[in-house]
Amino acid sequence: MEQLDCRGLACPQPVMRTRDALAAGTNALEVLVDNEPARENVRRFLEGRGFTVAASQEGPDCWRITASAGESAASAPQQAAEASRPLGETNKTLVLITTETIGRGDDGLGAKLMGNFVATLPELGPRLWRIVLINGGVKLASQPGPALDALKKMAADGVSVLVCGTCLAHFGLLEAKQVGDTSNMLDIVTSLDLADKVIRP
């Protein structure tokens, strides 16, 4: 079993090192990380490629992730690549939200505008593919309000919502997140590349 010590590595390095190990043909590995976002990102990455995954906390700053290839692991990379691409017609739209408010001048007004913006996104129809929340934008997935309600409804309707794990940890919101997948910068950069159009309020 290959061992990867990814403690001390910034996002998305733990996922990238895990990806490289799989590309080299590893079918069983153990990954050590030192934070919850890294644990979640590595776990989700491996499960998305057909691996059976178990994670345990070894100490206050150490998580051990063990993974072994399942029957579907051989075909999973191709399936994962296909799933990450916008399906069907072109013009798939990604919305990148980097703060909980829109504009400058009055944060109270900015918060109302952001709530209205997020609630209006379903008007894009089937073109709306993915919503990415980074920096202060992750608060929208964690704090009660019109934006959270709208995000939950869109996620239930099939819109992908990615929430930056490093950002959640920075704001102390890992446990408060109520919608979306905790994600990493590799997923986010790949999503921006795959999108036909990016909207940033």
pLDDT, tens only, 63-84: 999 999 876 555 454 444 444 4
CA 153, 157, 163: angle at the middle one, nearest 5?
65
* pLDDT at 59 (0 to 100): 87
* CA 167/CA 184 separation, integer angstroms: 10
Query: Could you read off the pLDDT of 86-103 as tens digits, one per residue?
Result: 445 558 999 999 999 999
Query: Could you read off the pLDDT of 132-149 as tens digits, one per residue?
Result: 999 999 999 999 988 999
Annotation says 11 is catalytic: yes
Residue pair 93/140 in contact (Cβ under 8 Å)? The answer is no
* pLDDT at 89 (0 to 100): 53
CATH number 3.30.70.260 given to 2-82? no
Query: Could you read off the pLDDT of 46-64 as tens digits, one per residue?
Result: 998 999 999 999 888 899 9
* CA 16/CA 5 separation, integer angstroms: 13
Domains of the chain, by residue range, sit at 2-82, 85-199
* Angle between helices 146-156 and 107-120 in degrees, nearest 10: 20
Catalytic residue among 6, 11, 164, 167: 11
Query: Could you read off the pLDDT of 20-39 as tens digits, one per residue?
Result: 999 999 999 999 999 988 99
Rounded CA Rg of the chain: 18
Query: Could you read off the pLDDT of 161-171 as tens digits, one per residue?
Result: 999 999 999 99
CATH number of 85-199: 3.40.1260.10
